[in-house]
C-alpha cells in the first residue's frame, strides 16, 4: 500500500517536483559558484605550466618506486596552510548543501500533508514562508545527526564492495552496492518520521525532537523501509542507464522526483500508522481497510 500510494502521490505532484527542481538548481548553482571561488586560488598557485594529471602520475610512480618528492608533493608541503584552509571550506560547503537540502524537506512535507489531509494544493513558496523557522532548526539538527551516519555507511560500503569484488569478482560489485543501498535505505527510514509528525501535529521544533526520539516508532520504520529500498533501486537503475545517453538530463530531473517521492513515502507511512484517512488525487484512502 505504501509504495503504490506514495508513487501515485508523487506522480500527481508534478508542480511540486518542478518547484523542488528549481530550488535545488539554485542551491547547486550557488554551491558551484562557492566551490569555484574556493578552488580558484589553489589552481592559480599551480601556475599555467603545471600539468595536474602528469604530475599526479609522476608523483605516484616516484612514491612507489623511489620515494622521491615530485613537484606536486613539494607544492603540498609549501602550501599546507592554504590547502588546510581549503579543505575546511570544502567541508563547510558540503554541510551548507546538506543544510539546504534538509531545509526543503519541511515545506515539501507541508505541501504534501495539506494535499493528503484536505485535498488542497499548497504553494511551495507559501509553505516555505510558513515553516521557515522550523525548517531551519530541523535542517541544522538533521544535518548534524545524519552526516556522520552517512559517512559511516559510505566507508562501510566502500570496504565491503572492495572485499566482495576481490573475493567473488564483478558479481560482488552488484551485491555490495545493493547491500549498501539497503543500509542507506534503513538510515533514511530511521529519520523519515520526524518531518511528517512535526507538520501533521503542528509541533514546535523542541517538542518534535523530544517526541521523535523519546517515542521512536519501529512499526513506522517497518512500514516505509521496503518502499525506500525500492525507491533506491529504481532511481539508481534509471540514473545508471540514462546518464550517458541523455548527457545527464534525465538524472537531473529524477533527483527532485526522488526527493518528493521520499517525502511522500514518509507522509503516507505516517497516515497509515496513525490509521488516518487521506486523499490521493480525488480518492479517499482509509488505512483501516487493510487491518
Q: Residue 215 CA to chain centroid, in angstroms?
A: 25
Q: Which three cell numbers stand for residue 266?
A: 514518509
User: Pairing relation of β-strands 283-285 and 278-280?
Assistant: antiparallel
The whole-number pLDDT of residue 280 equals: 85
pLDDT of residue 76: 59
Residue 154 lies in a domain: yes
Whether 72 maps to a domain, the answer reads: no
**pLDDT bucket at 120, cuts 50 / 70 / 90:** confident
pLDDT(68) > 70:
no
Structure confidence at residue 122 (pLDDT): 82
CB 134 within 8 Å of CB 198: yes
Classify residue 78: in a domain, yes or no.
no
136-147 residue pLDDT tens: 999 999 999 999
Mean pLDDT calculated for residue range 184-192: 94
The whole-number average pLDDT for the span 73-84 is 63
Q: How far does CA 14 lie from the centroid of its chain?
A: 20
CA–CA distance, 152 with 154 (Å, rounded to integer)? 5
Query: Do the Cβ atoms of 124 and 107 come closer than 8 Å?
Result: yes
Task: Name the pLDDT band for 64 (thresholds 50, 70, 90).
Answer: very low
Q: Does the pLDDT at position 56 exceed 50?
A: no
pLDDT of residue 66: 47
**Residue 223, domain member (yes or no):** yes
H or E element that contains 283: strand 283-285
Burial string for 44-68 (b: 16+ CB within 10 Å, else e) reads eeeeeeeeeeebeebbeeeeeeeee
Is residue 231 within 8 A of residue 258, CB to CB? The reply is yes
Nine-digit cell at 65? 618506486
The total domain count for the chain is 1
CB atoms within 10 A of CB 168: 12
| H-only helix segments in the chain | 2-11, 14-46, 52-65, 71-78, 80-103, 105-118, 124-168, 170-191, 194-200, 205-214, 218-242, 249-274
Give the structural domain span for 184. 2-25+104-290
The label of the residue with cell 494544493 reads 121
| Cβ–Cβ under 8 Å, residues 108 and 124 | yes
**For range 211-224, the mean pLDDT:** 90
d(CA 290, CA 275): 10
Number of other CB atoms surrounding residue 267 within 10 Å: 30
- In a domain, residue 82? The reply is no
Within-domain flag for 159: yes
Residue 113 lies in a domain: yes
Residue 175 has pLDDT above 70, yes or no: yes
Q: What is the pTM of this model?
A: 0.83
Mean pLDDT of 47-59: 50
Rounded distance, CA 221 to CA 273, Å? 10
At 69 the pLDDT is 52
Higher pLDDT among residues 74 and 140, named by residue: 140
Residue 126, pLDDT > 80, answer yes
* CA-closest candidate to residue 185, choices 160, 147, 150, 161: 150
Q: What is the pLDDT of residues 233-263, one digit of tens each?
A: 998 888 888 888 887 788 888 889 999 999 9
pLDDT at residue 58, rounded to an integer: 53
Name which residue leads in pLDDT, 231 or 248.
231
The proportion of the chain whose per-residue pLDDT surpasses 90, expressed as a percent, equals 44
pLDDT of 169 reads: 84
95 in a structural domain: no
> What is the H or E stretch that residue 48 is in?
none
Look at residue 223 in the predicted model and tell me its pLDDT. Answer: 93
Q: How far apart are CA 277 and CA 116, in angstroms?
A: 8
Residue 61 has pLDDT above 60, yes or no: no
Q: What is the mean pLDDT of the chain?
A: 84
pLDDT digits over 31-42, tens only? 889 888 888 776
Give 285's DSSP letter.
Answer: E
Amino acid at each position: 500500500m505504501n509504495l503504490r500510494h506514495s508513487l501515485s502521490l508523487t506522480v500527481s505532484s508534478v508542480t511540486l517536483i518542478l518547484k523542488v527542481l528549481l530550488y535545488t538548481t539554485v542551491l547547486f548553482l550557488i554551491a558551484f559558484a562557492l566551490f569555484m571561488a574556493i578552488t580558484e586560488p589553489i589552481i592559480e598557485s599551480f601556475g599555467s605550466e603545471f600539468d595536474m594529471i602528469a604530475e599526479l602520475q609522476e608523483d605516484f610512480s616516484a612514491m612507489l618506486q623511489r620515494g622521491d618528492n615530485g613537484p606536486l608533493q613539494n607544492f603540498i608541503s609549501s602550501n599546507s596552510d592554504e590547502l588546510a584552509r581549503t579543505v575546511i571550506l570544502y567541508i563547510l560547503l558540503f554541510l551548507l548543501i546538506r543544510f539546504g537540502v534538509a531545509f526543503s524537506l519541511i515545506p515539501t512535507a507541508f505541501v504534501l500533508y495539506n494535499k493528503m489531509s484536505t485535498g488542497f494544493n499548497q504553494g511551495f513558496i507559501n509553505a516555505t514562508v510558513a515553516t521557515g523557522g522550523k525548517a531551519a532548526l530541523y535542517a541544522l539538527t538533521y544535518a548534524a545527526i545524519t552526516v556522520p551516519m552517512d559517512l559511516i555507511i559510505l566507508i562501510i560500503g566502500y570496504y565491503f564492495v572492495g572485499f566482495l569484488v576481490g573475493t567473488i569478482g564483478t558479481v560482488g560489485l552488484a551485491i555490495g552496492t545493493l547491500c549498501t543501498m539497503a543500509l542507506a535505505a534503513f538510515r533514511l527510514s530511521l529519520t523519515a518520521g520526524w518531518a511528517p509528525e512535526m507538520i501533521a501535529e503542528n509541533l514546535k521544533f523542541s517538542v518534535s525532537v523530544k517526541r521523535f526520539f523519546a517515542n521512536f516508532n519501529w512499526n513506522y520504520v517497518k512500514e516505509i523501509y521496503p518502499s525506500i529500498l525500492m525507491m533506491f533501486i529504481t532511481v539508481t537503475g534509471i540514473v545508471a542507464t540514462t546518464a550517458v545517453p541523455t548527457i545527464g538530463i534525465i538524472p537531473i530531473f529524477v533527483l527532485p522526483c526522488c526527493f518528493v517521492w521520499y517525502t511522500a513515502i514518509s507522509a503516507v507511512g505516517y497516515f497509515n500508522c496513525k490509521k488516518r484517512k487521506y486523499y490521493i488525487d480525488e480518492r479517499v484512502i482509509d488505512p483501516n481497510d487493510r487491518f
